[in-house]
């Protein structure tokens, strides 16, 4: 509340100053300010509507790396399905695109958005009812299908062979929820990130990895010691998350942009780049 | 008189500043946002009873087991460091330097994954004496190794803090060095080092939050991991606050208890 009233006050003060400046500008060399003001006036209405943390920029929180959804390039830029799609959305909205790396915790607890780190989170986040209570999601943009990854030569051919095995999953993911609901195993072990999951598989701490299909496929492509043996459709989708209050307009705009990108083929183009066979 | 007035003046200025910071912080904070993001009673209620029956319980199990291991290893290392045999001293020095220098997280990761990869056939999960034995085992060893490095130095200082006369008197009564050390010096040393050991214990309680890297199942999660999972499920920060309170509920009584022990000890001397 305090910040809001302060902002209102600041806005009022700025307006007053601007009016005063306009009134008395005849004597001043007003050409540079006069030149810059129209452009400022042009961008500010849309930015104000979206309540962006940085005017003119769509600031996106993401936990990087999570190939092939979010990856950090050597030159400090970002790529990956989420990143490219979000950049295209920002482009569609006429905004600059900026990534803020955050922990998945900060994103999924909503604190990254609440703290004003970013406008929207794009981090392969599955839309769930529980999460929907505390943040708002965009329309789904990716099917969160799951898959089972095992070492080559393992006696596991499908989820039915897991009864006396230990399955590794990533904390807070659809894979974890899916495994807990649908898989009978000795134990389901949750790991913080992909790196530990795969090291644990190598250390024999777990027998199989159940997680997002594209992530497992990417892993199997890089490492010929492991293979994907089964795929599970879950009917769930990933969504972009925004703070519950104050970002309604931004959310609508993101959904509209998403639709436009699907219509004009940009979505398919990005999809093929990362998941095309 | 003048000096006292000046003292009183500076003190009231300091108090005033202090109050201003607190009141200012409270007034300027966006309470609506804070309570929405961190203080939702329903989410806090949903955390019970598992936060106590699983999470707090595991934090305590990990703490006690790794503290015990650390204490035994630490005592051994302290004695090696005080030994007249040079290789013992070298070993103890190298051990302490390495494990005091490495981040605990790294040590835990190495114990959990590098050992099984290095030794074919050894897997933590093969320990099945109690449910979750593998995770408890790897966690205990990982944290115990780190704790031992710190405790060794504390215990050594404690042993050196016992007056030499104690050992000399014991020897003159015909006790062997070992016997005198075990029955006369070490017990007195421990009385001296209760405060620093408590410190170590509290550090360990907090270090158990690193064990998530080993992978957790529902039943082996400690407090921090439990809170993070809950926050992830609900997209809300309330669990962090609740978990923080539970940590304090464990650590504060403990420091109070030790302060009491310490006072008694002092009275007994």
pLDDT in tens, B156-190: 999 999 999 999 999 999 999 999 999 999 999 99
Separation between Cα atoms, residue A210 and residue A196, nearest integer Å: 14
Is the CB of A127 inside 8 Å of chain B's CB atoms? no
Instruction: Give the confidence band of A9 by pLDDT, cuts at 50, 70, 90.
Output: very low
CATH code of the domain containing B167:
1.10.3720.10
Q: Hey, are the CB atoms on B229 and A172 less than 8 Å from each other?
A: yes
Q: Which of A5, A110, A170 is best to mutate for the B interface (most B CBs within 10 A)?
A: A110
Number of domains in chain B: 1
In chain B, DSSP assigns E strands to: none
Q: Considering CB atoms only, which of B30, B36, B232 is closest to A2? A: B30
Q: At A19, which helix (H) or strand (E)?
A: helix A2-24
Q: What is the pLDDT of residues A75-130, one digit of tens each?
A: 989 999 999 999 999 999 999 999 998 888 788 778 888 888 899 999 999 898 88
Instruction: Give the confidence band of A24 by pLDDT, cuts at 50, 70, 90.
Output: very low
Instruction: Give the confidence band of A270 by pLDDT, cuts at 50, 70, 90.
Output: very high
Q: Considering CB atoms only, which of A2, A131, A190 is closest to B235? A: A131
* Cα torsion A29, A32, A37, A38: sign: positive
Q: Examine residue B6 and state whether it is found in any structural domain, yes or no.
A: no
Report the chain A residue with the minimal C-alpha distance to residue B236: A109
Confidence at residue A277, expressed as pLDDT on a 0 to 100 scale: 64
Average of per-residue pLDDT values in chain B: 90
Q: How far is CA A144 from CA A167, A233, A237, B216, in A?
A: 19, 8, 5, 23
Is the CB of A139 inside 8 Å of chain B's CB atoms? no
The size of chain A, in residues, is 277
Q: Which domains does chain A have, with CATH numbers?
A: 57-142+237-275 (3.40.190.10), 145-232 (3.40.190.10)
Q: Which of B232, B241, B244 is best to mutate for the A interface (most A CBs within 10 A)?
A: B232
Q: Across A102-116, A132-146, A179-193, B141-155, which has the greatest mean pLDDT?
A: B141-155
Residue A138 has pLDDT above 90, yes or no: yes
Confidence at residue B38, expressed as pLDDT on a 0 to 100 scale: 86
Is the CB of B116 inside 8 Å of chain A's CB atoms? yes
Q: Considering CB atoms only, which of B36, B218, B235 is closest to A109? A: B235
Q: How far apart are the first and last CA of chain A?
A: 51
Is the CB of B32 inside 8 Å of chain A's CB atoms? yes
Confidence at residue A276, expressed as pLDDT on a 0 to 100 scale: 77
Q: Considering CB atoms only, which of A105, A188, A191 is closest to B232? A: A105
Q: Across A7-21, A37-51, B165-179, B247-261, which has the greatest mean pLDDT?
A: B165-179
Q: Hey, are the CB atoms on B116 and A203 less than 8 Å from each other?
A: yes
Q: Considering CB atoms only, which of B27, B116, B212 is closest to A205? A: B116
CB B236 within 8 A of CB A110: yes
Strand-pair partners of A232: A146
Q: Hey, are the CB atoms on A104 and B232 less than 8 Å from each other?
A: yes
ipTM value: 0.71
Residue A41 has pLDDT above 60, yes or no: no
Q: Phi, psi (5° rounding) for residue B216?
A: -130, 145
* Cα torsion A181, A182, A188, A190: sign: negative
Confidence at residue B74, expressed as pLDDT on a 0 to 100 scale: 96
Farthest-apart Cα atoms in chain B, separation: 79
Q: How far is CA A58 from CA A87, A94, A120, A211, in A?
A: 9, 9, 8, 29
Q: What is the pLDDT of residues A218-253, one digit of tens each?
A: 888 888 899 999 999 988 899 999 988 888 899 999
Q: Considering CB atoms only, which of A172, A202, A205 is closest to B232? A: A172
Average of per-residue pLDDT values in chain A: 81
CB pairs under 8 A between A and B: 109
Confidence at residue B181, expressed as pLDDT on a 0 to 100 scale: 92
- Residue by residue, DSSP assigns A134-196 as TEEE-S--EE--EEEEEETT-S--SGGGGTTSEEEEETTSHHHHHHHHH---SEEEEESSHHH
Q: Examine residue B238 and state whether it is found in any structural domain, yes or no.
A: yes
Q: How far is CA B46 from CA A127, A257, B31, B50, B227, in A?
A: 21, 38, 23, 9, 12
Q: Examine residue B23 and state whether it is found in any structural domain, yes or no.
A: no
Residue A29 has pLDDT above 80, yes or no: no
Separation between Cα atoms, residue B68 and residue B201, nearest integer Å: 10
Q: Enumerate the residues of chain A whose CB falls inside 8 A of the CB of residue B212.
A: 171, 192
Q: Examine residue B47 and state whether it is found in any structural domain, yes or no.
A: yes
The domain of B51 spans 43-268
Q: What number of other Cβ atoms are within 10 A of residue B84's Cβ?
A: 7
Is the CB of A111 inside 8 Å of chain B's CB atoms? yes
> Dihedral (C-alpha) A224, A230, A235, A239: value to the nearest 10 degrees?
-10
* Closest residue by Cα to residue A236 from A159, A181, A199: A181
The shortest C-alpha distance from A193 to chain B (Å) reads 9
Confidence at residue A120, expressed as pLDDT on a 0 to 100 scale: 94
Residue B266 has pLDDT above 60, yes or no: yes
Report the chain B residue with the minimal C-alpha distance to residue A170: B215
pLDDT > 70 fraction of chain A, expressed in percent and rounded: 82
Q: What is the pLDDT of residues B237-259, one digit of tens each?
A: 899 999 999 999 999 998 888 88
List, in order, residues 6 or more apart from B158 with CB less than 8 Å away: B189, B190, B192, B193
The shortest C-alpha distance from A146 to chain B (Å) reads 18
Confidence at residue B57, expressed as pLDDT on a 0 to 100 scale: 94
Residue A171 has pLDDT above 90, yes or no: no
Is the CB of B27 inside 8 Å of chain A's CB atoms? yes
Q: Examine residue B25 and state whether it is found in any structural domain, yes or no.
A: no
* Closest residue by Cα to residue A145 from A233, A217, A226: A233
Q: Examine residue B214 and state whether it is found in any structural domain, yes or no.
A: yes
Can you tell me the mean pLDDT for B74-84? 94
Q: Hey, are the CB atoms on B235 and A110 less than 8 Å from each other?
A: yes
CB B266 within 8 A of CB B195: no
Is the CB of A166 inside 8 Å of chain B's CB atoms? yes
* Closest residue by Cα to residue B107 from B132, B138, B68: B138
Q: Examine residue B197 and state whether it is found in any structural domain, yes or no.
A: yes
Q: Examine residue B235 and state whether it is found in any structural domain, yes or no.
A: yes
Separation between Cα atoms, residue B238 and residue B230, nearest integer Å: 9
Can you tell me the mean pLDDT for A128-136? 85
At B181 the three-state DSSP class reads helix
Q: What is the pLDDT of residues B112-158, one digit of tens each?
A: 888 888 887 788 888 777 777 888 889 999 999 999 999 999 999 99
Q: Phi, psi (5° rounding) for residue A12?
A: -60, -45
pLDDT > 90 fraction of chain B, expressed in percent and rounded: 59
Angle at B58 between CA B57 and CA B59, to 5 degrees: 95
Q: Look at strands A226-232 and A96-101 and give their pairing.
A: unpaired
Is the CB of A1 inside 8 Å of chain B's CB atoms? yes
CB A71 within 8 A of CB A80: yes
């Amino acid at each position: 509340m305090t910040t809001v009233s302060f902002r209102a006050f600041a806005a009022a003060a700025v307006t007053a100053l601007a009016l005063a400046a306009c009134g008395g500008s005849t004597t001043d060399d007003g050409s540079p300010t006069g030149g810059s003001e129209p452009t400022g006036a042009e961008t500010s209405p849309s930015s104000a509507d979206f309540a962006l943390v940085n005017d003119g920029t769509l600031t996106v929180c993401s936990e990087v790396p999570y190939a092939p959804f979010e990856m950090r390039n050597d030159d400090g830029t970002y790529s990956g399905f989420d990143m490219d799609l979000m950049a295209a959305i920002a482009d569609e909205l006429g905004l600059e695109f900026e990534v803020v790396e955050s922990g998945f915790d900060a994103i999924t607890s909503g604190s990254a958005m609440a703290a004003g780190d970013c406008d929207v989170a794009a981090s392969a986040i599955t839309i769930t009812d529980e999460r929907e209570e505390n943040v708002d999601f965009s329309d789904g943009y990716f099917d969160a299908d799951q898959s089972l990854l095992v070492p080559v030569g393992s006696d596991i051919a499908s989820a039915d062979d897991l009864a006396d095995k230990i399955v590794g999953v990533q904390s807070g993911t659809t894979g974890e929820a899916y495994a807990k609901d649908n898989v009978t195993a000795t134990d389901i072990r949750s790991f913080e990130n992909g790196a530990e999951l795969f090291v644990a598989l190598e250390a024999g701490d777990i027998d199989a990895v159940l997680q997002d299909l594209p992530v497992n496929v990417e892993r199997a492509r890089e490492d010929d010691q492991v293979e994907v043996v089964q795929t599970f459709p879950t009917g769930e989708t990933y969504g972009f998350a925004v703070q519950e209050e104050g970002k309604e307009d931004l959310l609508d705009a993101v959904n509209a942009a998403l639709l436009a990108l699907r219509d004009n083929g940009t979505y398919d183009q990005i999809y093929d780049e990362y998941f095309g066979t | 008189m003048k000096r006292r007035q000046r003292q009183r003046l500076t003190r009231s200025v300091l108090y005033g500043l202090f109050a201003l910071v607190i009141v200012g912080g409270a007034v300027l904070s966006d309470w609506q946002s804070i309570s929405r993001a961190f203080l939702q009673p329903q989410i806090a209620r949903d955390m019970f009873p598992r936060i106590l029956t699983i999470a707090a319980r595991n934090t305590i199990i990990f703490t006690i087991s790794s503290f015990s291991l650390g204490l035994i290893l630490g005592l051994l290392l302290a004695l090696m460091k005080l030994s007249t045999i040079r290789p013992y001293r070298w070993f103890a020095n190298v051990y302490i330097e390495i494990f005091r220098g490495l981040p605990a997280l790294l040590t835990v990761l190495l114990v959990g994954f590098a050992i099984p990869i290095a030794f074919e056939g050894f897997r933590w999960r093969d320990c099945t004496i109690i449910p979750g034995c593998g995770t408890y085992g790897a966690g205990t060893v990982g944290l115990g190794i780190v704790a031992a490095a710190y405790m060794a130095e504390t215990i050594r200082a404690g042993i050196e803090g016992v007056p030499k006369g104690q050992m000399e008197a014991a020897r003159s009564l015909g006790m062997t060095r070992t016997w005198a050390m075990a029955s006369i010096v070490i017990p007195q040393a421990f009385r001296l080092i209760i405060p620093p050991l408590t410190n170590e214990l509290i550090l360990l309680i907090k270090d158990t939050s690193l064990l998530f890297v080993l992978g957790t199942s529902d039943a082996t999660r400690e407090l921090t991991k439990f809170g993070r999972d809950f926050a992830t499920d609900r997209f809300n920060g309330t669990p962090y606050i609740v978990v923080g309170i539970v940590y304090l509920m464990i650590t504060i009584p403990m420091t109070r208890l030790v302060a009491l022990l310490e006072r008694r000890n002092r009275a007994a001397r």
